[in-house]
A and B are shown apart, each in its own frame.
Chain A
Amino acid sequence: MFSARRRIRERDRAARAAQRGLAGAVVDAAELSDAEAILDIQGLKTTFHSDEGTVHAVDDIDLVVRRGRTTCIVGESGSGKSATARSILQVVDNPGLIEDGRILFRADPEGPVRDLAALRSKGDAIRSVRGREIGIIFQEPMSALSPVHTIGNQISEVLELHSDLGPAQIRERVIDELNNVGIPRPDERIDAFTFQLSGGMRQRAMIAMALIARPALLIADEPTTALDVTTQAQILDLLGELKVELSMTMIFITHDLGVVAEIADDVVVMRHGKVVETGPVDQIFHDPQHDYTKELLASLPQRSAPLGEPEAPEATPAVGDAVPDGGRPGSVDVVEVVSDPRETVRHEHPQARPLLRIRDLRMEFDAVSGTMFGRRRKEKIVAVNGVDLDIAEGETLGLVGESGCGKTTLGRCVMRAYDPTGGELLYDDGSGAVDLAGLSQKQLLPYRRQVRMVFQDPYGSLNPRMTVRQVIGEPLRVAGLARGSELDDRVETMLERVGLRSSMASRYPHAFSGGERQRIGIARALITSPKLVIADEAVSALDVSVRTQILELLADLQDELGLTYLFISHDLSVVERICDRVAVMYYGNLVEEGPAEQLFANPQHGYTRALLSAVPVADPRVRGTRERVVYRPDEGESEESAA
């Protein structure tokens, strides 16, 4: 108990030092550019100095966050939105440095205004603000929480630092807070490790941690980007409710305009470290001023109504009060649907000749439970559970579902990267059907050239030690189809076809941006003149504007070369935009399948409805008008409704 006493003594010392530090940073309230402001960033510059040079991540920005509102900072990767958020708490990643500017923060509406940028980054003063007055949530809860400490331990720490409560009281408060953020059985979960929780539960724990000291301001840095869409919807609802309940102010950082439309009161658009436009959410979506904002909005999938212009003048509410304050209303209409996940809803439609007929495809994985001695108790994980699906020649079939639903496994089975446990893959390019599932590796060789894949990660899927020429030419060389100058010619032609220059062939992948790398990946897939291309989350890692370009390229190539796409994605808006037909998977089962317009306009299966209702709509005016559908499988055996 000696250490506990010492810790308290240390805390008291730190508290006094923090008081002195904070007193030194007090600024006259008249300096705030808005009397309502809780946070007023003035001329902030955050710079990263490294051997490769200096990057101005945040380049002289002004930004006001008004009390009680949700301010969304949007921008593509590298726009400086995260660096801005981290500058507020002075937790910028090494070697970032706040060079200039003021961050005026007024925790209490009547309290003193302090300049956080004037505090030392490792001092007691800023530490007393972190966690206590400003909480922060990060993107990936798995890596943002320590894997070797229980969540209870990590959440308690905030109270140990910022309160006088004893261990038993702290534990009680933590359990209470876990309950508040909607974690079932909080008295057990408090002792769970991060890897024992689902992604949504982890993010809830992270939120509990950020909120337990009741900060006046919550910064959420892409908190839902790593989550599935239904989980995202739940977390957004939760944040909205908590914000009202705890009367907080929220800064929400995201690249997803759909999310912005759902929750923002004010929007700040950032690009290349600068603020290009700020305004109330309705104005940003319906009357954008800056070209970049217009560009971002234009890259959105065109849903029901055209964006960028108000539908009718009389329907345009006065800018600013179109949306009720407090973001997403606390009460969302929730409808629960129960149905059998093993039943497949098929929309009737005429179909062209199928290039690939998937019949009763099953893929099981053995999960060896326990240690090496527990081998006898094998568990089977059924990743694909008897799926029947046709892919017609020349069409784009979208395969959607949330992580773990088996869509990637299905794609890999078609590739025969996995050997399916059962079923048939009848491939018919006009010369008679062949069951790919039954072929040996050797017999499969000719089909390897006809069925090709584009991968998700443009960084991980290219060998950094091979030039672009080698990367793209490899499939031809391995197949013995071309050599020497003929090979080079074909590689260069292909490079031009995917929108790159033939002179780029001798460079290495690191010299290219994410979008260019994905073009290289596409070139590699197309070099053998395939019939069927499987694009597994091929645009998920790309920024919206680049994503649009790649999708256009894929569409052009399809027209030119008569390709058939199996487009696997978790992003429903992309699928709706480019797919002719859509198939929805849920825990290994195909639950619904049909033409894109029909399926999106009139979803039949409960899960499809839940999925579609969770997708944020990029129009602040429809906020709160839709009902939320929650799906529950109609059987006891599936796992607990994971968040």
Chain B
Amino acid sequence: MLRFTIHRILHVIPTLIIISVISFFIIQLPPGDFLTTQVAALEAQGESIDPAQLEALRVRYGIDDPFWIQYWKWISNILLHGDFGLSFQFQRPVIDLITERLPLTILLGVATLLFTWAIALPAGIYSAIKQHSAADYTISVVGFVALAVPNFLAALVLAYVGFAYFGQSVGGLFSPEYVNAPWSLAKVGDLLEHLWIPVLVIGLAGTAGIIRTMRANMLDELYKPYVTTARAKGLPEGRNIRKYPLRISLNPFISTVGWSIPSIFDGEVIVATVLALGTTGPLLLAALKSQDMYLAGGIILIIAVLTVVGTLISDLLLAAVDPRVRFGKA
């Protein structure tokens, strides 16, 4: 197990290097750079910029350096000083922009994830055990509807319902009076009042997929001979299902569980934008639109790293629960 863990971790390093190069390359792909976007925006407003000043800015930001030099400056600052660079748009360090949004982002992400699992896993297991029953079909229909309705639409509808029937302020995670208020019980209550809409919207949409995979995995395992063997030992039905088929049918779920870690971080960009949530999702969107490359690059890099780390966690978890993986037999 230890060997397996070390090997898997060693394997992560080259992946991360490649990912960082690729994400830096991608954010540089669109024609032009941050300054040309800025100049265009200013000119559209009828202002003009001194070419000498522009040139000074270009040098200062190193925009005309070759790709590898820019990449090296960027990545070495991140690794050595935790410095993700300066956001052109906000004129503030990228790391500050991200960290001030991080607590709420993680809160929303974790709440959504727990909500999704709490609903989807039992629903999937139940609909497998009661295959072809009314409950099975109802669960499937609800899951598919939630999957099919576009997130932003559901967000808008729920926001409208909240506003029209419950008199809630719409948008954001706080009512206006609490946004800049210090933390208090009332502020937490206000947060919870706002949190349910995005959690419900994002969470429900995620359930369908998990319900279907869980149901299918469970159906595959439920009729395996080892379940009959356990039954023939005299094991009660409920304990049998929990100990044998459920344990094995969770494997595919565990092997993808790590992928939800990056989604905790980036949230649902569109829903967050529609609901004006103060999470990192809308920040990434804004950064990409304005070619704010250090901000965008920083966020993308973090998401990429979390994806790799998440996969690593999944692999380790899977090895922990499934001896076949641990002994290299599956």
State in angstroms the CA–CA spacing of A277 and B180 once bound together.
Answer: 89
Q: Nearest chain-B residue to A162 (Cβ)?
A: B234
A148 touches B234 (CB 8 A): no
Complex Cα spacing A197 to B243, Å: 22
Specify which of A93, A146, A162, A196 is in contact with B327 (CB 8 Å cutoff).
A196
Distance A144 CA – B228 CA, assembled complex (angstroms): 8
A138 touches B (CB below 8 Å)? yes
B290-330 residues at the A interface, CB under 8 angstroms: 321-324, 327-329
> Whole-angstrom distance between the alpha carbons of A145 and B322 in the complex?
14
- Are A140's CB and B231's CB within 8 A? no
A519 at the interface (CB under 8 A from B): no
User: Which chain A residues (100-133) contact chain B, with CB distance < 8 Å?
Assistant: 122, 124, 127-132
A371 touches B225 (CB 8 A): no
**Nearest chain-A residue to B10 (Cβ)?**
A373
**Cβ contact within 8 Å between A130 and B231:** yes
Nearest A residue to B231, CB-CB: A91
- A93-B223, A94-B223, A148-B323 given; A157·B7 CB < 8 A: no
Are the CB atoms of B232 and A89 closer together than 8 Å?
yes
Is the Cβ of B4 less than 8 Å from the Cβ of A132? Answer: no
Asked if B226 is an interface residue, CB under 8 A from chain A, the answer is: yes
User: Which B residues, 213 to 241, have Cβ-Cβ distances below 8 Å to chain A?
Assistant: 223-226, 228-237
- Contact digits for B72-114, partner A, Cβ 8 Å, 1 yes 0 no: 0000000000000000000000000000000000000000000
Interchain CA distance A372-B248 in the complex, whole Å? 25
The one of B231, B244, B328 in contact with A371, judged by C-beta atoms closer than 8 angstroms, is: B328
A147 to B329, CA, bound (A): 10
Q: In whole Å, how far is A529's beta carbon from the nearest beta carbon of chain B?
A: 43
Q: Using Cβ atoms and an 8 Å threshold, which residues of chain B touch A615?
A: none
User: What is the CB-to-nearest-CB distance from A210 to chain B, in angstroms, rounded to a whole number?
Assistant: 8
The number of inter-chain residue pairs (CB within 8 angstroms) is 90
B289 interface residue per 8 A CB criterion: no
Q: Which residues of B contact A138 (CB under 8 A)?
A: 225, 228-229
A136 touching B232, Cβ below 8 Å: yes
How many angstroms from the CA of A344 to the CA of B91 in the assembled complex? 84
When the two chains form their complex, are residues A148 and B247 in contact, meaning their CB atoms are under 8 A apart?
Answer: yes
A370 at the interface (CB under 8 A from B): yes
Tell whether A447 is near chain B: CB-to-CB under 8 Å: no
- Whether A195 touches B327, Cβ cut-off 8 Å, given contacts A128-B234, A138-B228, A138-B229, is yes
Please tell me if the beta carbons of B324 and A161 are within 8 angstroms of each other in the complex: no
Given contacts A148-B322, A193-B324, contact A143 B225 (CB under 8 A): yes
Complex interface: chain A residues within 8 A of B233 (CB):
130-131, 157-158, 161, 209
Q: Is A504 an interface residue (CB 8 A)?
A: no
Most buried by A among B232, B237, B327: B232
Question: Across the interface, do A144 and B229 meet the contact criterion of CB distance under 8 Å?
Answer: yes
Contact (Cβ within 8 A) A145 B229: yes
- Beyond A193-B327, A371-B4, A373-B7, whether A146 also contacts B226 by CB under 8 A is yes
B1-29 with Cβ < 8 A to chain A: 3-4, 7, 10-11
> Chain B contact residues (Cβ within 8 angstroms of A): what range?
20 to 34
Interface string of B232-264 (1 = CB under 8 A from A): 111111000001100110000000000000000
Question: Is B226's CB under 8 angstroms from A143's CB?
Answer: yes
What CA separation (Å) do A84 and B170 show in the bound complex?
66
Hey, which chain A residues are within 8 Å of B244, CB to CB?
146, 149
Contact present for A158 and B228 (CB under 8 Å):
no
8 Å CB interface, A17-50 against B? none
The smallest beta-carbon distance between A404 and chain B, in angstroms, is: 16
User: Do residues A129 and B234 form an inter-chain contact, with CB atoms below 8 A?
Assistant: yes
Q: How far is the CA of A147 from the CA of B236 in the complex (A)?
A: 20
Minimum Cβ distance to chain A for residue B324 (Å): 6
**Distance (whole angstroms) from the CB of A190 to the closest CB of chain B:** 14
A122 and B237 contact, CB distance less than 8 A: yes
CA–CA, A159 and B11, complex, Å: 44
Assembled-state Cα–Cα distance A92/B329 (Å): 31
Which chain B residues lie closer than 8 Å to A129 at the CB level?
234
Q: How far is the CB of A445 from chain B (nearest CB, A)?
A: 38
State how many angstroms separate the Cβ of B127 from the closest Cβ of chain A: 15
- The complex places the Cα of A568 from the Cα of B226 at a distance, in Å, of 31
Query: A14 to B236, Cβ gap below 8 A?
Result: yes
Given A147-B324, A373-B7, decide whether A93 and B234 contact each other with a Cβ distance below 8 A.
no
A-chain residues with CB within 8 Å of residue B228 when the two chains form the complex: 86, 91, 93, 138, 144
Which residues of chain A come closer than 8 Å to B324, judged between CB atoms? 147-148, 193, 195
A162 to B236, CA, bound (A): 12
Q: Report whether B248 and A371 are in contact in the complex, using a CB–CB cutoff of 8 Å.
A: no
Report the nearest B residue to A130, measured CB to CB. Answer: B234
Residues on A with C-beta less than 8 A from B3 are 370-371
Minimum Cβ distance to chain B for residue A207 (Å):
12
Interface residue ranges, B against A (CB under 8 Å): 3-4, 7, 10-11, 223-226, 228-237, 243-244, 247-248, 321-324, 327-329
User: Which residues of chain A have a CB within 8 Å of any CB of chain B?
Assistant: 14, 86, 89, 91, 93-94, 122, 124, 127-132, 135-136, 138, 140, 143-149, 154, 157-158, 161-162, 193, 195-196, 206, 209, 370-373
**Which 10 pairs across A and B sit closest by C-beta, in order of nearness?**
A130-B234, A131-B233, A131-B234, A127-B234, A144-B225, A146-B226, A143-B225, A373-B7, A136-B232, A144-B229
Q: Would you list 16 pairs from A and B whose C-beta atoms are within 8 A, ordered by A residue?
A: A14-B236, A86-B228, A131-B234, A136-B232, A143-B225, A144-B226, A144-B229, A145-B229, A146-B248, A147-B323, A148-B324, A157-B233, A206-B229, A371-B328, A372-B7, A373-B10
